[in-house]
Amino acid sequence: MLRRIFLPSILIILGYGFWISPDFKEISAGVAIFLFGMLSLEEGFKAFSGGTLEKILQKSTDKLYKSIGFGFVATAIMQSSSLVSVLTISFIGAGLIGLTQGIGIILGANIGTTTGAWLMAGFGLKVKISAYAMPMLAFGVILIFQKAKSLKGFGYILTGLGFLFLGIHYMKDGFEAFKETIDLASFAVDGIKGLFIFIGIGILATVVMQSSHATIVLILAALSVGQITYENALALTIGANIGTTVTAIIGSLSSNIDGKRLAGAHFIFNLVTATVAVIIMDQIMSSVDVISNFIGIESNNYTLKLAVFDSLFKVMGVLMFIPFINKLVKFLEGALKDKSTEDPTSFETTQYLNDSVLELPETAMAAITRETKHLYTNAFEIITHGLNLKRENITSDMPLEEVVKDSYSENAIDIDNFYTHRIKGIYGEIIDFSTKAQSQMAPEDIEALYKIKLANRDIVEAVKDTKHLQKNLIKYDNNTNVHIKEQYNSIKIGLAELLRSIDIISKTTEEDEMIVLLSKAKVHMQRYDILANGTLDNLIRNNIVTNEMATSLMNDSTYAYNISKHFIAMAEVIFVDSASDIKNIGEALIISDEDVDLILEEKDA
């Protein structure tokens, strides 16, 4: 509803402005060209984000000061705190970083926006930058039409910078020409009243343009030709800082609960910082004068003094918030709760799949991988309980013979109910989301995504096989025929060992341990082929089991074999590092039980 009112209103205001003054067209065109340049820059930087994104994030955000530094550098390079905010929400949505790390990036991004003001005030307004824009646009457009991803990305960056410079040129010239028609400085308002009015205008301008950077550039362009007063420019800058949170809030609407909490942190930080700045405005202005005088800025050079104010205002806010970040995180976690986990009887939903992670192919892939691990966790619990085993026993060091004796429940669990509530919906959403995500992925990423989808199918099939196996496990658990009981007990021990191995693989980063466990699981999987190893023939020949028992055992051995096969295939895709050679483990690495035991003994020694 708001969009239906908002867009026509903006178009009407623009049309009225064009009718009043032809010079207004030049300012508007400058803003439009500048914003288009920012979009081109975003597209260019996304082209270089692939491959090592997760590793870069882990190394550069594991400490608060690193997170702040990452946010500062990213914003200084991309010249867009809004883009950094949206990407950070994407990182959180995919589970690549936590809320505390995200808040650190946002704090750094706020400081990073000051570099734009310094470049504009110190360089953009004193040099005819349109002369630099034309070559950038010419070379950039040529590179955009190249097939190589890196050349195309570099082309977008050059084109974006060219449009940024061109937009600044038109804004500056537009305000100079506009002054001959209407002197906006005559509308200046002094005192506290003017402070609040122009903060509101700054908020509105940033909401409309969806970029505080564009608003700051517009303010500097107007200030440089005397169209606004220095005091009103400071108020506009504070308003722009508040207005930029709207972009983050909009971006968080499609994110998970942590993404929404990050947007809330961004809003609280900017609002509180702005409030403090208003309260101590006189002291900040005095500090700006002292700093400007110290670094040699003339008293009437208001554009550079505005850059000093912008830096002081934002650094002050970051220093003020750093001691309270942990308390802010606790407050947001309490205030914004995940409603999907409040009702245990409801259908379980996905944790990482949301439209915000589609910003980058890497975050989309990371989100799908993490959601697959979420599906595995649910399946692990269902299969364990379906075998009437306790999960905590499987993940412990308890001997397997004791694990199978310690039953989970006297009654069989309803696997169909578990499947409906905790598997089916998540699996369907993973497949649907994967289809959506692969539209912007490279061929090699699509191939990797296909393997992940197969891994999800393996998880689902393992749950279904457990359902078929469960019936006879219960039937023969207390059977008077000790031989058939022994065979089914052996199946349970084998599957308990498999589940324990997969659990260890999911938690370890040691490649040699993964090789041993996967190889051992593949060797033990062959035990379920009771036709090939002669077990079934021996039981029938010696009249140890009935024909009905033999048929059931043959079918259930196949189900056990399939559960092992599906879980091993899933583990190779999901838990083994994609960059590792372990990914290509084949039959050549399958070793005997004796060799496996020797390797394990050597590791323990």
Please write the tens of the pLDDT for every residue from 245-293. Answer: 876 677 676 667 888 888 888 889 989 999 999 999 889 999 999 999 9
Q: How confident is the model at residue 309 (pLDDT cuts 50, 70, 90)?
A: very high
Q: Name residue, tokens 């968080």.
A: 252
Dist CA 168 CA 170 (whole Å): 6
Side-chain half-sphere CA neighbours of 465 within 13 A: 21
What are the phi and psi torsion angles at 389 (to 5°)? -120, 155
- Of 39, 103, 115, 48, nearest in space to 71 by CA: 103
- The whole-angstrom separation of Cα 170 and Cα 208 is 19
Tokens of 377: 């966790």
Q: How many helices (H) and strands (E) does the chain have?
A: 28, 0
Whether the Cβ atoms of residue 315 and residue 308 lie closer than 8 Å to each other: no
Q: Decide: 54 and 61 in contact? Cβ < 8 Å.
A: no
Q: Residues 231, 236, 238, CA angle at the centre, nearest 5°?
A: 100
More confident residue, 395 or 542: 395
Does 406 or 180 have the greater pLDDT score? 406
Of 18-27, 47-56, 124-133, give the lowest mean pLDDT range: 47-56
pLDDT at res. 587? 40
SS3 of residue 423 by DSSP: helix
* Cα distances (Å, whole numbers) of residue 437 to 86, 87, 241, 389, 445: 17, 16, 33, 38, 10
Q: How far apart are CA 520 and CA 101, in angstroms?
A: 39
Q: How far is Cα 270 from Cα 266, in angstroms, rounded to an integer? A: 6
Q: How many residues does the chain have?
A: 605
What pLDDT, on the 0 to 100 scale, is given for residue 582? 38
Highest-confidence segment of 372-376, 584-588, 591-595: 372-376
The two structure tokens encoding residue 177: 């020409």
Burial profile 471-509: b = 16 or more Cβ within 10 angstroms, e = fewer: ebbeebeeeeeeebeebbbbbbbbbbbbbbbbbbbeeee
DSSP, res 528? G
In single-letter form, the type of residue at position 17 comes to G
Short-list 429, 99, 426, CA closest to 257: 99
Q: Give me the pLDDT at residue 345, please.
A: 47
pLDDT band at 578 (very low <50, low <70, confident <90, very high): very low
- What is the Cα–Cα distance from 194 to 201, expressed in whole angstroms? 10
Q: How many CA atoms lie within 13 A of 378 on its CB side?
A: 26
Give helix 443-475 / helix 361-386 axis angle, nearest 10°. Answer: 10
Whether pLDDT at 505 is above 80? yes
What span, in angstroms and rounded, lies between the C-alpha atoms of 247 and 80?
11
Q: Which of 93-107, 491-505, 519-533 has the lowest mean pLDDT?
A: 519-533
- pLDDT grade for 433, boundaries at 50, 70 and 90: very high
Question: Is the pLDDT at 60 greater than 80, yes or no?
Answer: no
Bridge partners (DSSP) of residue 389 are 407
pLDDT at 452 over 70: yes
- Minimum mean pLDDT among 220-229, 367-376, 387-396, 420-429: which range? 220-229
- At residue 124, the pLDDT reads 53
Q: How far apart are CA 172 and CA 175, in angstroms?
A: 5
pLDDT at 573 over 80: yes
Residue with tokens 């062959």: 526
pLDDT of residue 602: 52
Query: 429 near 353, Cβ under 8 Å?
Result: yes
Residue identified by tokens 């689902």 is: 460
Residue % of the chain over a pLDDT of 90 = 17
55 Cβ contact partners less than 8 Å away, ≥ 6 residues apart: none
CA 447 to centroid of chain Cα atoms: 21
Distances (CA, A) of 424 to 4, 344, 415, 421, 464: 38, 16, 12, 7, 11
Q: Which of 52-66, 102-116, 206-220, 555-569 has the lowest mean pLDDT?
A: 52-66
Task: Give the helix, strand, coil percentages of the chain, each rounded to 5.
Answer: 80, 0, 20
pLDDT band at 385 (very low <50, low <70, confident <90, very high): very high
Q: Give the residue-averaged pLDDT of 60-74.
A: 84
**pLDDT score, position 89:** 77
Mean pLDDT taken over the chain = 80
SS3 538: helix
Q: What is the pLDDT of residue 28?
A: 78
User: Does 537 have pLDDT greater than 80?
Assistant: no
Above 60 in pLDDT, residue 343? no
